[in-house]
A and B are shown apart, each in its own frame.
Chain A
């Protein structure tokens, strides 16, 4: 069975600090997708990234970076120089990769990040 663990329920950081959100997953599939989503206090969902299991290259997008390590089944998300606008709940998710669609999508329980000015 698939499982996604976001052990950090809540994190508080002071603005401009770097912060890493952990995501550990379990799957028996050899090919899968990993995702991160953001949900600000306003409630909407924002897609951040999708990573394929065969592509272990780390991704950087502005202040955001993702560290995918298959050996430890982790897909961690780092925000550099955090800002108040980064305050949100962040969800990690895992999906089986077949059939041209998302199969067996499993979400983590989310990490609430509070950035204090």
Chain B
């Protein structure tokens, strides 16, 4: 158990709908990362937050948004869903922001499997 929780585990919805994925980082971790894994696109980094602030943005679509709340949990909002958004969405956390030196370890949640029909 990594200590990172993600809810829900599975989500089935229809095109055009909006969903919210939730991530609770390990206790004490300030950084949260979101990744998407799909058959078509492979693994992609979406976005990173550190202590409530956006720190890095990856291949996140404009229909997607995320935030990190004061209690450090994070939510990924996906709207106007399309069939191609069907994927496994992973959240990860780490204790520090990216440090230029030293080792950083990311801890991954079990993922949320989203199916858009």
Show the binding face of A for B, using Cβ within 8 Å.
33, 37, 43-47, 49-50, 52, 55, 91, 93, 95, 97, 99-105, 107, 109-110
The total number of A-B Cβ pairs within 8 Å is 63
User: Nearest Cβ in chain A — how far from B87, in angstroms?
Assistant: 12
The answer to whether B56 and A103 have CB atoms under 8 Å apart is: yes
Within 8 Å by CB of B42, from A47, A55, A103, A109, lies: A109
- Cα-based distance from A110 to B97 in the complex (angstroms): 26
- Cα-based distance from A97 to B98 in the complex (angstroms): 9
The answer to whether B35 and A45 have CB atoms under 8 Å apart is: yes
Given contacts A93-B43, A107-B42, 7 further A-B contacts (CB under 8 A): A33-B98, A44-B2, A45-B108, A47-B106, A47-B107, A99-B56, A102-B56
What sequence of 0s and 1s flags, for each residue 82-109 of chain B, a beta carbon within 8 Å of any chain A beta carbon? 0000001010100001101101111110
The answer to whether A43 and B108 have CB atoms under 8 Å apart is: no
- Cα-based distance from A78 to B50 in the complex (angstroms): 32
Whether A44 touches B98, Cβ cut-off 8 Å, given contacts A102-B48, A102-B56, A107-B44, is no
